[in-house]
Structure 1
Amino acid sequence: MSLPPLQQLPADLVSAADYQRYASQYLSANAQAYIDSAAADELSHAANLAAFGRYQLQTRVLADVRGGHCRSELFGLQLSHPLLLAPIAYQKLAHADGERAAAYAATAVGSSMLVSTLASTPLEDIAAAAQAPLWFQLYWQPQRELTLQLVQRAEAAGYRALVLTVDAPLAGVRNAEQRAGFALPPGVYAANLPEQQPLPELETGQSMVFEGFMAQAPSWQDIAWLRAHTRLPILLKGILSPHDALLALEHGVDGLIVSNHGGRVLDTVPASLDALPAIAGVVAGRVPLLLDGGVRRGTDILKALALGASAVLIGRPFVHALAVAGALGVAHLLRILQEELEVAMALTGCRTLADLGPDVLWTPHGKA
């Protein structure tokens, strides 16, 4: 049985890992199976975490970093730190206030949130709860009309950008969820979509993958259509290939999120951080890059930015914090990560994010 969220934070909640440890007491087994699971053998999920450990930082001493900060700006958002909440579905699994609490907390401490199409709260209510603008994460719908309705609702509610997830045209094979028999509990559902979403109709012998879900999946032509139907910046989330990054630029995309979906879609793909340098190389600063996957420390943020990201997303850690202490937990976690980032910046001689580059990463014999 899960416990009610904390109203006061215990002294030993000092890191993202501590929130994960506590969350097991506050999440139901059903919710934990959904939030913490990944695809198949969960190797890509593990790789996301391990990738940051392969990079070491190069300290610099006697640097004058007085007046330093980690403020940043993205698509008109003024951020206290280059850290946003990733789009996570069904946040009411973790807390009764769900996405409303997370959005309120993020914007209250100078961050922002990517609101999922599969949010368990209407996107308008989430925007109303926030203290600053949000971004909307879009899952392509089987009919363009439904997709356009979501886009128009996001525009009307004041969202500042659209983030189209392109790496999950169908769900991954998440064995941990299957073993647990995960099911959405009463009262938790995709509040932004029609209640009835029938499966594709197939003829005998047809594949649900190829003739079903993939027949309804978006293509590059749909990216061009979306670009023509919205005034908002468009980011593609789920890019791991430099070739796809270049195609995205050709289709007028305004930003890219390098992500393997937290390892939840296809197992044994590379860690997001490992894919970042090659993508940063071909994009060459033409659009902002964000990194999603495995961020647990301020030093992780520093490493991602040193390798070419403009900002990072966190997913599971903030849902753990939400489960433990609601909006208070999410705000506290973001403060922890910001302070860790500031410490790492100061000790590597970086006064602002503009000072960050590959030279903050240690290499043998000082070679780049």
Structure 2
Amino acid sequence: MSQSGVVILSVEDIRKEAAKRLDRVTLNFFNDGSTDQITVLENVTAFAKYRIRPRVLRDVSKADTSVTVLGRKISFPLSVSPAGIQAMAHPDGELATSRACARRNINMGVSSFANYSIEEITKAGLTVGPIGYVMQLYTMKDRALQERIIKRAEAAGCVAIFLTADSPVLGVRYNEWRDDFRTPVGLDFPIQDKTSEMIQAQTHDDGFVAFNSDAHSWAYDIPWLRSRTKMQIWVKGVLTAEDALPAREYQCDGVIVSNHGGRQLDGVPATLDALPECVAAADGKIPIHIDGGFRTGADIFKAIALGAQCCWVGRPVIWGLAYDGEKGVEKLLNILHDEFKRCMKLAGCKSVSEISRASLAIAGQGRSLIKL
């Protein structure tokens, strides 16, 4: 039960409580997608077309939700996406998220737009327990700064880079422009060596254009990263088989099927709908992860059944922070874990490896269920 006496049972409950605590501009920044908001909505609704095929009289008394992801065993196939400016939701921002991830024993992505340094974030989690971190990067115009970020992330113990590949420019975000959104005074981007004063001097969109390079390419950026770090290199933002294939060709360590939470090009496929073709293109040669729209443990189950190794969650973590800081994020992660485990048991799965396409059906045109 929350301090206000509201019983919190689901991610939706946390979302509603967060909305009470955030001002309109901040809430729009975190929740909005681009243009007509089609993709941000369909990321969530795509799960509804699938039905779980339960199995009965199976001994699930020792059901194990754990998986090995990025070289470490985590408690269930979920990790926290790199999401920027978390201190807008709660002053502890990424520090609170880091501690909550460590307590739940899952991995965490760190945004280039974090309000705390990579060293502070990793140290916060390690005070609670072991945790795997990944550093999210854009292709930057200032290559020297990009290299410094890589070296600092590696020294701080990050195990992978998530190269965000879907953002040569920002998507059309009407409310950010109408509100003249700027990161609040007093919040820095220490990973980019940017002070609050520097950030305030530009709009959010102009700041991104000045920082980000739209001249990125498979042929240049993947080898460049490989030459500068021993961390794993993952490509984030893939929605097609045509982009999963070069990820294999350039020997990337994995792919994150993502549409940037619906914040880039509106009208692209929901990530769950794009997942099967990316899994088929990967052909087991590289792992496929996914983000976008996860709101329940059953959602996680469905993505795993369709071939994802791990799911990543972003907005709900922001809602957890806004609701109750570190405790709010911990509450969110515990809800998703418990829902996922309950779903596994009801579907008759004793381990994550038993979740497969045979666990799902989809409604056909005549509304009859078709086993995948």
Q: TM-score, structure 2 length as denominator?
A: 0.90
Matched, 1:38 2:38: no
Q: Percent identity?
A: 37
**Corresponding residue of 1:238:** 237
Residue among 199, 203, 218 paired with 2:216 = 218
Change (3 A) 1:19 1:87: same
Q: Deviations over 1:111-162 (max 9, x none)?
A: 1210001101111100110132311111221032221111100000011111
**One-letter identity of the residue aligned with 2:241:** P
Matched, 1:75 2:93: no
The farther-off stretch of 190-199 and 20-29 is 190-199
**Corresponding residue of 2:365:** none
Change (3 A) 1:241 1:261: same
Deviation at 1:41, TM superposition (A): 0.6
**Corresponding residue of 1:202:** none
State the alpha-carbon separation in 2 of the partners of residues 255 and 164 from structure 1. Answer: 11
Deviation at 1:188, TM superposition (A): 1.6
The farther-off stretch of 229-238 and 172-181 is 172-181
State the alpha-carbon separation in 1 of the partners of residues 34 and 170 from structure 2. Answer: 9
- 1:1-368 to structure 2, matched below 5 A, reads 8=3, 10-131=5-126, 132-195=131-194, 196=198, 216-220=214-218, 221-363=220-362, 364=368, 367-368=371-372
Q: Deviations over 1:248-298 (max 9, x none)?
A: 111110010000000001100110000000010111111111110000000
1:135 aligned counterpart, secondary structure: strand
**One-letter identity of the residue aligned with 2:276:** P
Change (3 A) 1:367 1:340: closer
In structure 1, the gaps of 5 or more residues are: 1-5, 200-207
Q: Deviations over 1:51-70 (max 9, x none)?
A: 00111111111111221111
Deviation at 1:228, TM superposition (A): 2.1
**One-letter identity of the residue aligned with 2:269:** P
Are the counterparts in 1 of residues 245 and 281 from structure 2 also a CA contact under 8 Å?
A: yes
Deviation at 1:14, TM superposition (A): 0.9
Q: Deviations over 1:66-90 (max 9, x none)?
A: 2111101112222001111111010
State the alpha-carbon separation in 1 of the partners of residues 117 and 143 from structure 2. Answer: 20
**One-letter identity of the residue aligned with 2:107:** S
The farther-off stretch of 93-102 and 145-154 is 145-154
Are the counterparts in 2 of residues 94 and 322 from structure 1 also a CA contact under 8 Å?
A: yes
State the alpha-carbon separation in 1 of the partners of residues 155 and 27 from structure 2. Answer: 34
Are the counterparts in 1 of residues 347 and 359 from structure 2 also a CA contact under 8 Å?
A: yes
Are the counterparts in 1 of residues 169 and 214 from structure 2 also a CA contact under 8 Å?
A: no
State the alpha-carbon separation in 2 of the partners of residues 358 and 243 from structure 1. Answer: 23
Q: Deviations over 1:151-190 (max 9, x none)?
A: 1000000111111110012211111222333221111232
Are the counterparts in 2 of residues 33 and 180 from structure 1 also a CA contact under 8 Å?
A: no
State the alpha-carbon separation in 1 of the partners of residues 370 and 31 from structure 2. Answer: 39
**One-letter identity of the residue aligned with 2:242:** H
Aligned CA-pair RMSD: 2.0
In structure 2, the gaps of 5 or more residues are: 363-367
Are the counterparts in 1 of residues 100 and 330 from structure 2 also a CA contact under 8 Å?
A: yes
State the alpha-carbon separation in 1 of the partners of residues 18 and 132 from structure 2. Answer: 28
**One-letter identity of the residue aligned with 1:262:** G
The farther-off stretch of 190-199 and 176-185 is 190-199
State the alpha-carbon separation in 1 of the partners of residues 344 and 266 from structure 2. Answer: 33
Are the counterparts in 1 of residues 106 and 132 from structure 2 also a CA contact under 8 Å?
A: no
State the alpha-carbon separation in 2 of the partners of residues 362 and 49 from structure 1. Answer: 18
The farther-off stretch of 321-330 and 180-189 is 180-189
**One-letter identity of the residue aligned with 1:22:** E
